[in-house]
Amino acid sequence: MQSRNQRPSTSGRAHRLSRETIRDAAQQILRDEGPQNLSMRRLAKEMSSTPMALYHHVRDKGELLMLLLDAHAESFPRPDLPEEPRERLLASAQLLHDILADCPWIVEVLTSDSFVSVSALWIVESLIDSAIRCGLTQEDAVYVYRVIWYYTIGELTVRFRRERALSETKGTPQRERTMAALNAEELPRLAHLGSRWGELAAADNHRRGLEAIVEGLLAQGRGRRPEPAAADPTPPPGRARAVDG
């Protein structure tokens, strides 16, 4: 509590714009008002500046969000991952998920690229590496990553969207629409879905699905490549190499 009170707000002077100050202000808005309130205009106002000034430092909103994702990934505590390949694979996937679980804007970042920030690439590497050490080919290992990525992104997308929808209509009886049909007469089995959907859906449940996915994919990999190195009998033109670029 030394010299940091209220500086980026209405003081209106002495803070030149830079990627760092822009990023900090954006983080503050994210913290205080949520991701749906982070816009270039709102951000400019927060910094007592104009929208265009921002475009002098970041190419567009997508780059700004990337910046935020990167900073978050970098600041995230970097745990020791287990050595045992399967455990390491699981832990990497879980870490990827946990990092993104704090980033509701990941849903929008996917607009620009379908991929995670550079600061988190080591996790992806670790994940793919572990899969290879579990006995998969490189190609299959990448595939494992992809399936995990889809699962992760899907869970987070659904979660964040629902959270946003709930916060927008604070308890208003508008969450019916399709959900109503679920709790309805002739679909008793599905009522289950509607009622507890996402209630305890967070960390534990994610892990459980992760384990199943990894289990299934590793088994698949073992099935396709039953010998350490015989003659690699996979010549059918199915999905060969296609190096291209």
Q: Which residues inside 12-31 make contact with DNA, applying CB under 7 A?
A: 16-17
Question: Is residue 60 part of the contact set for DNA (CB under 7 A)?
Answer: yes
Out of 118, 167, 203, 233, the only residue in the binding site for its own copies (CB under 8 A) is: 118
Residues 111, 114: Cα–Cα separation, whole Å: 7
Q: What distance lies between CA 237 and its chain's CA centroid?
A: 34
Question: Is residue 49 part of the contact set for DNA (CB under 7 A)?
Answer: yes
Task: Give the nearest distance from C-beta 102 to its own copies in angstroms.
Answer: 18
Task: Give the nearest distance from C-beta 229 to DNA in angstroms.
Answer: 50
204 binds, among its own copies, DNA, none (CB under 5 to 8 A by kind): its own copies
Question: Is residue 167 part of the contact set for its own copies (CB under 8 A)?
Answer: no
- Of the candidate spans 47-55, 92-100, 149-157, 207-215, the one that interacts with DNA by CB under 7 A turns out to be 47-55
Question: Is residue 11 part of the contact set for DNA (CB under 7 A)?
Answer: no
Residues 225, 5: Cα–Cα separation, whole Å: 61
For 84: left if phi > 0, alpha if psi spans -120 to 50, otherwise beta; the answer is beta
Residues 245, 208: Cα–Cα separation, whole Å: 36
175 binds, among its own copies, DNA, none (CB under 5 to 8 A by kind): its own copies
Residues 155, 62: Cα–Cα separation, whole Å: 22
49 binds, among its own copies, DNA, none (CB under 5 to 8 A by kind): DNA
Tell me whether residue 9 or residue 234 sits nearer to DNA (CB atom): 9
Number of residues that bind DNA (CB under 7 A): 20
Residues 96, 130: Cα–Cα separation, whole Å: 14
39 binds, among DNA, its own copies, none (CB under 5 to 8 A by kind): DNA
Tokens of 226: 């039953």
Task: Give the nearest distance from C-beta 13 to DNA in angstroms.
Answer: 10
Residues 108, 73: Cα–Cα separation, whole Å: 16
Residues 120, 108: Cα–Cα separation, whole Å: 18
Residues 20, 23: Cα–Cα separation, whole Å: 5
